[in-house]
Structure formats: structure tokens, C-alpha cells
Amino acid sequence: MKQSILFVCLGNICRSPLAEGIMLHLMKQNALDVKIDSAGTANYHVGEAPDRRTIKNAKMHGIDLAQLRARQLVENDLEEFDKIFVMDRKNYRDVMRLTNGKKSQSKIHLFLEFTENETHQEMPDPYYGDERDFEQMFLLSLKACTKLCNLLKTQHF
């Protein structure tokens, strides 16, 4: 069956849609057929396009996020997706709270676990930051998505 990955942050307008957009790009580039989606634990921005600063930065790197729309995480996502990558520990706790069984709990991981980065185990939230924070988010996301893509290619996933 087709594998599936869900990225989760708070608002679904900065960190998780960027991860979704980069992964979609890498899946296409590598001809991999994996379902990719993203959601937020909060409902503040439901229906909105990603933050304009996220769109602008990603576009500079050749990734188009303009068509994505924010949605809120629902309980069914925990059943439906094989892997759920959360951006920070607060997301982790919020998603864990929605789980009712051990099976779905084992699907939930911190996204930056994949980068083996000593400095960043959590993806910094750029929402109240400046351009440098959006660039840092992009570089960290690209690194983690590239690793994830390599795992998918070798099936060590």
C-alpha cells in the first residue's frame, strides 16, 4: 500500500506546509509515490494559504507553496497516516493527547530527529522572527526532507 507522511505544526502556515512543499518536490524529483500532507494543531489559520514570508522564501529556493491551504489536525489523521512528523515538543504533546492507543503513538516523531543536528532538535518557530529565521527554517527543512527522501528510496522507513 502507498506510504503516507503527515507534517504537523501549530498553525499550518509556516513550518509544516514548508516541509510538505519540499517533500512533494523531492518525491516528484525522485519519482516516489508517497502521500504527503500537513496540518496544524490549532485552528487559527484554517483555509488560509501559507504565511507570505514562508511562500516568498520557499519561492526563492524554487519551491511553490501558494496552492496549499491550512487545515486543522483531526483524530482520523492519526489512523490514516503511517508517519507523523511534528515540529516541536509542544506539537508532540498536543498530538499525543489526540491518540488513544499505542499504535498511533509510535508513528509520531520529531521532524528534526532525522538531521542528527545537535543544535536543533526542534524546528524553531519563525512566526515572530525575520527573514533570517525563514531562511534557517528552509535550510533545516531541506536537510531533514532530503534525509527522509533517502530513507524512502532505500525503504529503511
Residues that bind ligand 4NP (CB under 6 A): 9-15, 40, 44, 125, 127
Point out the catalytic residue in the list 88, 125, 145, 149.
125
Report in angstroms how near the CB of residue 96 gets to ligand 4NP at its nearest: 17
DSSP string, 80-117: H-SEEEESSHHHHHHHHHH--SHHHHTTEEEGGGGGT-
Nearer to ligand 4NP, 8 or 152 (CB): 8
C-alpha cell at 76: 482520523
- Is 125 considered catalytic here? yes
Report in angstroms how near the CB of residue 99 gets to ligand 4NP at its nearest: 20
Nearer to ligand 4NP, 72 or 99 (CB): 72
Nearer to ligand 4NP, 12 or 104 (CB): 12
N- to C-terminal Cα distance for the chain?
14
Q: Which residue is nearest to ligand 4NP (CB)?
A: 11
- Is 149 considered catalytic here? no
Strands annotated E in the chain: 4-9, 35-40, 83-86, 108-110
Report in angstroms how near the CB of residue 58 gets to ligand 4NP at its nearest: 13
Strands annotated E in 18-153: 35-40, 83-86, 108-110
- Is 97 considered catalytic here? no
Residues taking part in catalysis: 9, 15, 125
